[in-house]
Amino acid sequence: MANDTRRSTGPGQRLAGVAAAARGRALIGSAGTVVLAVIVLASCSGRAPAGPARTALPTASSPVPAASRAAATSVKAQVLGAYLGMWHAYVAASRTADYQSGALARYAAGDALSVLTHGLYHNYRQGIVTRGQPSFRPQATVAYQAGAPVSARVSDCATSVHWHAYDKSGKPVPGGPPGRRRITARLGLFYGIWKVTYLVVGKAETC
């Protein structure tokens, strides 16, 4: 994970001031566009990611509970809804660099929320806004305990080819070439609501 750690420089490095605002967490800008997000959270800084206590991390071998297939599908839909909701809220806020947007807190918590908020604040200070929309292809895995969902992991391959950064004058912010980036997110339940607590975005062309 250390290979993903570096400071943002161009616009594709723009989710961005997070590197400066959150030490020990890295930003890897989305190439040629705005930041696709670059968050290497607690696991790289030696701290456990925020989230509900005693929550088991899901793995590919996590057993499906003795619930109906429809119920399991519904849980995955809720997990993906929270994950994509977080990104949609971030993209909407990044159009005006609104670091005070309350929408992110509906879908993210702990370190993930802190890093995203600091990224928006960095863009606000630098006068950077975005246009367009990134695309995502997430897949979810849910972990269960005693037949109940307790945590989830999302694996994604996202691209920001159609998501671009601009300065106050409306000029594009230069950056590296766009590419697909592997994203890993962990989610926990907060009073029955799924929220992203951990987020890592890889280098370009990692998926």
The average pLDDT across 107-121 equals: 93
Distances (CA, A) of 109 to 39, 42, 114: 14, 13, 8
Asked if the model's pLDDT at residue 116 lies above 60, the reply is yes
Confidence of residue 176 (pLDDT cuts 50, 70, 90): low
Q: How far apart are alpha carbons 161 and 182 in whole angstroms?
A: 14
**How much is the pLDDT for 1?**
43
What percentage of the chain has pLDDT greater than the value 70? 66
Where along the chain do its domains lie? 2-204
DSSP assigned state of 88: H
Distance CA 207, CA 40 (A): 17
Tell me which fold the domain 2-204 belongs to: Nuclear Transport Factor 2; Chain: A, (3.10.450)
Q: What is the pLDDT of residues 164-173, one digit of tens each?
A: 899 988 899 8
Is pLDDT at 102 greater than 70 in this prediction?
yes
Model pTM score = 0.71
Residue 145 pLDDT exceeds 60: yes
Residue 104 reports pLDDT greater than 90:
yes
- Joined together, the tokens standing for residue 114 give 């802190």
CB atoms within 10 A of CB 96: 13
**pLDDT tens readout for residues 152-161:** 999 999 988 8
Closest CA to 193 of 152, 133, 158, 163: 152
